[in-house]
Amino acid sequence: MSDVIISVKNLKKNYGDFEAVKGISFDVKRGEIFGLLGPNGAGKSTTLEIIETLRQKTSGEIFVDGFNLDIAPNDIKKIIGVQLQTSGFYPSLNLTELIYLFAGLYNEIIDPMYLLDSVNLRDKAKSKYKELSGGQKQRFSIATTLINKPRIIFLDEPTTGLDPQARRNLWELIKTIRASGTTVIITTHYMDEAEVLCDRVAIIDSGKIIALNTPDKLIDELVDTGFERPKEVKKANLEDVFINLTGHVLRED
Ligand code: ADP
Ligand code: MG
């Protein structure tokens, strides 16, 4: 089995005259949590959606677990899990019904309670998606990516808008999924999150990869240039204060 599970070579995507992705290349290793970081509009979602077979590329080559995207997109679809946007969930169905619906689409037999347990939502089995808190919605949508027992899951900004407790809770969930052998590709605007979660990150800006390494190496490289933080670094930050005062317990029920 190859060490590389996703290989992207010279990927380009134009929207009309606009070059959103300008010839990027990177590999994702089997079993890692790989982060795509970059400002809004950098081309992160475009890149992910192309790999997910949901968007056409302009040019370039992509292999997912040995399958060529141009030749075998359906084989790729079978081995990946993609987080739906919230609008993808029927509002009047409860979580158990939604899981049966997705399992049916994937032709999978699944125990909804087992799946809900794995994301700590057993209590919400009879609740409707719209009745969930932000963190619960994210946990549920991550659960739905696991229904077809994928080798890779794609998470596009899964923690945006969540409170610090819910964010940490999701980090634990993502680490558990990785520990079970699933490769994870994630985008985030939270650098603390990328530092904690990601084995390697690619930083993408205006459609180009401008850095790719482990968070640790990227930080060391910056320090080696003589960079120092302008402010004296304290032993804690405001987020530590917040967590210390309000605790790690989830507040969403
Ligand atoms: P990111 O996810 O990094 O914020 P996107 O991949 O969503 O960036 O978008 C990259 C660029 O492509 C942006 O400038 C965006 O406006 C543009 N773009 C994205 N989707 C489309 C589309 N369907 N049609 C035209 N332009 C698009
Ligand atoms: Mg995006």
Given ligand 1 and candidates 11, 22, 46, 55, which is best to mutate, with the most ligand atoms within 8 Å of its CB? 46
Best CA proximity match to 66, nearest among 81, 55, 79, 84: 79
What DSSP designation does 230 have? S
Q: Whose CA is nearest to atom 25 of ligand 1?
A: 15
How many whole angstroms separate alpha carbon 81 and alpha carbon 173? 15
Task: Output the pLDDT for position 1.
Answer: 73
How many whole angstroms separate alpha carbon 112 and alpha carbon 122? 9
The tens digit of pLDDT for each residue in 82-139 reads: 987 666 788 889 999 999 998 998 889 999 999 999 898 999 999 999 899 989 999 9
- CA 48 to ligand 1: nearest atom: 6
pLDDT band at 47 (very low <50, low <70, confident <90, very high): very high
How many whole angstroms separate alpha carbon 192 and alpha carbon 90? 33
Q: How are strands ordered across the β-sheet holding 4-15?
A: 18-29, 4-15, 59-64, 67-68
Q: Whose CA is nearest to atom 15 of ligand 1?
A: 41
The tens digit of pLDDT for each residue in 182-224 reads: 999 999 999 999 999 999 999 999 999 999 999 999 999 999 9
Please check the confidence at residue 81 and state whether its pLDDT lies above 60: yes
Query: What value does the CA radius of gyration of the chain take, rounded to a whole number of Å?
Result: 19
pLDDT band at 231 (very low <50, low <70, confident <90, very high): confident
Q: Is the CB–ligand 1 distance for residue 38 below 6 Å?
A: yes
Task: Output the pLDDT for position 34.
Answer: 98
| Residue type, position 162, single letter | L
Q: Is the CB–ligand 1 distance for residue 169 below 6 Å?
A: no
